[in-house]
C-alpha cells in the first residue's frame, strides 16, 4: 500500500512510461537512520517523532513517524516550520478526513498527513518533485 501511495506522488500524472527505479525501504522504528539519505534538510521532522517506515525511490520519498503529541500540536508545528523554512503552505483534509498540510518550495512538493494513533499521532510525510 505504501509503495502504491509513493508511486502516485503529488501533482499531475506523468505521461509516458519510465522503467521503475529501485526502491529502498527501511522499517522497524530505526531511529538512527530512519530517514532516506537524500531526505531534504528543509523538510521539518517533528521533534521526538520515531521513524517507523521510510521508502525512497529516486527523488520520491515517504516517511512514517510516530509522535506522542496531538494532531493539533503536530499541525501547528508543520505550519510554523514549513513557513520558517521558506515553504508555501496550504491546509486541507485527505479523503479519509485526516488533516493534511501541503507545502511547495520551488519544484518540490511535500504533503504531511496526520492520523490519530492511540494517544499520539501517525505522521506521513511524502516528498516528490513537481510533475510538469
Q: Does residue 16 carry a pLDDT above 60?
A: no
Owning domain of residue 87 = 47-132
* Helix/strand/coil for 107: coil
| CB of 111 closer than 8 Å to CB of 73 | no
Q: What is the CATH number of the domain that holds 69?
A: 3.30.310.80
**Domain annotation covers residue 15:** no
pLDDT mean over 8-36: 43
Q: What pTM does this model have?
A: 0.74
Q: In the chain, how many domains are there?
A: 1
**29-38, 59-68, 80-89, 109-118 — which is least confidently predicted?**
29-38
Amino acid at each position: 500500500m505504501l509503495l502504491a501511495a509513493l508511486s502516485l506522488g503529488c501533482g499531475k500524472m506523468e505521461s509516458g512510461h519510465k522503467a521503475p527505479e529501485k526502491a529502498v525501504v527501511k522499517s522497524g522504528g530505526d531511529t538512527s537512520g530512519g530517514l532516506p539519505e537524500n531526505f531534504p534538510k528543509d523538510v521539518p521532522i517533528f521533534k521526538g517523532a520515531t521513524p517507523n517506515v521510510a521508502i525512497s525511490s529516486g527523488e520520491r520519498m515517504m516517511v512514517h513517524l510516530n509522535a506522542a503529541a496531538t494532531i493539533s500540536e503536530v499541525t501547528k508545528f508543520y505550519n510554523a516550520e514549513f513557513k520558517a523554512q521558506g515553504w508555501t503552505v496550504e491546509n486541507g483534509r485527505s479523503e479519509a478526513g485526516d488533516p493534511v498540510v501541503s507545502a511547495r518550495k520551488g519544484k518540490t512538493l511535500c504533503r504531511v498527513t496526520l492520523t490519530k494513533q492511540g494517544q499520539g499521532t501517525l505522521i506521513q510525510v511524502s516528498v516528490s518533485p513537481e510533475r510538469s
